[in-house]
Amino acid sequence: MSKKQPKGEYIETDTGNKVSRRSQIIGTTNIILGGKTVIQAEVIIRGDLLRTYPPSNPSEKQGNTVAVAIGRYCFFSRGCELRPPGKLYKGQFSHYPLKIADHVFVGPSSIIEAALIGSHVNIGASVVVGKFAIIKDYVRILDGSVVPPNMVIPSFSVVAGRPARVVGEIAEGEVDGMDLREVYRGVGNA
């Protein structure tokens, strides 16, 4: 009789991503994970929300479209949701890609609909990032903030409030603490 290994909380992919068995990843063919990313339980990633309008150039193919692109060493906490932003364009509603760079931490119960999130970004718990927001590199968004749609957050900013605004800046010494490699190593099927 063969002994089956017990199933752990996380499924580990070939590129080192650790994905909870209790997460909801919809439209997996339209999601790119860069590697060494942790997706905790109850996280929802909506890869099924795609561009629907035809390409502007008729010779372009409507090939394999990307709804959500995620870089390396990202950490998505329990209960957060990643959705590509959407809007009306030429009378037709369409979604646009959500791009997340490296070393991005998203806190529990946060909802992200940004267009772009740069590297080394820390998003707190219960944060709402509005449609088409652009978050540059080395940004910390404090717990409970509501980032309005289309807001551009400059690099090295600390953001808080409802609606969110820049309330400070990240000091040089704080930049070193925004590397998520150690957090990644601490997650496993213990």
pLDDT, residue 97, reads 94
Residue 126 in any domain: the answer is yes
127-146 pLDDT tens trace:
999 999 999 999 999 999 99
SS3 104: strand
Residue 80 in any domain: the answer is yes
Sign of the C-alpha dihedral, residues 58, 59, 62, 68? Answer: negative
If one counts the domains in the chain, the total is 1
Which range of residues forms the domain containing residue 151? Answer: 10-53+64-186
Residue 19 in any domain: the answer is yes
CATH of the domain at 132: 2.160.10.10
User: Structure pTM?
Assistant: 0.87
Please list the ranges in the chain whose pLDDT falls under 70: 1-6, 53-64, 177, 189-190
Residue 59 in any domain: the answer is no
Residue 58 in any domain: the answer is no
Residue 89 in any domain: the answer is yes
Give the contacts of 132 (CB within 8 A, at least 6 positions apart).
85, 87, 96, 113, 114, 115, 149, 150
